[in-house]
């Protein structure tokens, strides 16, 4: 789809006078996206700024350029600057879903809880998908709104198309439902068991779900993690530390903080369990 859009823009540029300037601004635009993909935020910001400053970038691409620069700002932790660009992008393209989601994140980065929640709500109203319910659920969990988090993680499972959302992915959403509901002190165990059965998880993280259902002892869970039901046993161990720690925390079991500390230490930085463990440690005494 992106390739088609590029072809249309190039054709439009060369169909009018001033095509050289248009081509130059479009070159900056595409260069900005390439730099973002490479993780070079500083030069991406420069490229998008040049494309926008030229004043002749096709109007259709201005919101995308603003979004691209906002993404680079966000990666650098420059959340106020990112929010300004996203505000402008959404003025030009009100139904810009990616911009809504990113703005939720940069507003949350600035402790604008209600504004961030409003963006998540608007995004879900526009596109009530598994991914967005999961993302809002994590947002609620980060803010210790466990009832709302549990409800969203369960919605993530309920709206998941069976042909596109694997049993393992459903399993992780159910893990987040369980650890969120456990913190409320009011987990519906029969409902949880039914959803686990319906998810038909084969392999990891099935042992974690079985533990939550009372089918495994902790030592059996870690033995299963070490056996390697999934691709990397070490990563399964770090996930087991996090989810077991969170479950135990919700049930006031001693040693839960130690497990969460292990997850923060051992889980790869790209794992959601790593950032979640660090969030939890920041709010634990």
Q: Say yes or no to pLDDT of 14 above 90.
A: no
pTM greater than 0.85: yes
d(CA 83, CA 81): 5
Q: Which residues contact 238 (CB under 8 A, 6 or more apart)?
A: 262, 263, 266, 267, 268, 271, 273, 274
Do the domain assignments include residue 231? no
Domain that holds residue 106: 1-127
CB 52 within 8 A of CB 66: yes
Domain assignment of residue 75, yes or no = yes
73 within a domain of the structure (yes/no): yes
- Which of 55-59, 127-131, 194-198, 261-265 ranks highest by mean pLDDT? 261-265
| 15 lies in some domain | yes
Number of domains in the chain: 1
Longest dimension (CA), the chain: 73
Q: Quick one: residue 23, left, alpha or beta (phi over 0 = left, psi -120 to 50 = alpha)?
A: alpha
Do residues 57 and 13 make contact, with C-beta atoms less than 8 angstroms apart?
no
In 3-state terms the chain splits into helix, strand, coil percentages (rounded to 5) of 75, 0, 25
Q: What is the mean pLDDT of the chain?
A: 88
pLDDT at 87 over 70: yes
pLDDT digit string (tens) for 136-193? Answer: 999 999 999 999 999 999 999 988 765 555 677 889 999 999 999 999 998 999 999 9
CATH of the domain at 2: 1.25.40.10
């Amino acid at each position: 789809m992106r390739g088609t859009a590029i072809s249309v823009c190039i054709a439009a540029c060369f169909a009018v006078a001033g095509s050289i300037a248009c081509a130059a601004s479009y070159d900056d635009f595409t260069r900005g996206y390439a730099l973002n993909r490479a993780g070079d935020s500083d030069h991406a910001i420069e490229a998008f700024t040049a494309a926008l400053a030229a004043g002749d970038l096709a109007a259709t691409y201005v919101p995308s350029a603003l979004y691209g620069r906002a993404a680079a700002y966000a990666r650098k932790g420059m959340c106020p600057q990112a929010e300004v660009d996203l505000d402008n992008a959404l003025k030009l393209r009100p139904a810009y879903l990616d911009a809504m989601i990113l703005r939720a994140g940069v507003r949350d980065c600035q402790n604008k809880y209600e504004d961030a929640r409003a963006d998540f709500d608007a995004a879900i109203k526009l596109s009530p998908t598994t991914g967005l319910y999961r993302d809002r659920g994590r947002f609620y969990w980060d803010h210790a709104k466990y009832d709302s988090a549990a409800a969203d993680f369960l919605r993530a499972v309920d709206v998941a198309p069976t042909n596109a959302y694997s049993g393992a992915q459903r399993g992780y959403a159910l893990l987040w439902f369980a650890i969120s509901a456990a913190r409320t002190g009011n987990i519906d165990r029969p409902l949880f068991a039914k959803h686990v059965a319906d998810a038909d998880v084969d392999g990891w993280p099935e042992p974690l779900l079985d533990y939550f259902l009372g089918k495994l002892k902790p030592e059996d869970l870690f033995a299963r993690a070490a056996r390697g039901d999934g691709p990397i046993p070490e990563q399964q161990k770090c996930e087991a530390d996090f989810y077991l720690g969170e479950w135990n925390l919700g049930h006031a079991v001693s040693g839960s903080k130690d497990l969460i500390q292990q997850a923060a230490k051992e889980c790869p930085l790209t794992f959601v369990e790593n950032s979640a463990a660090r969030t939890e440690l920041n709010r634990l005494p």
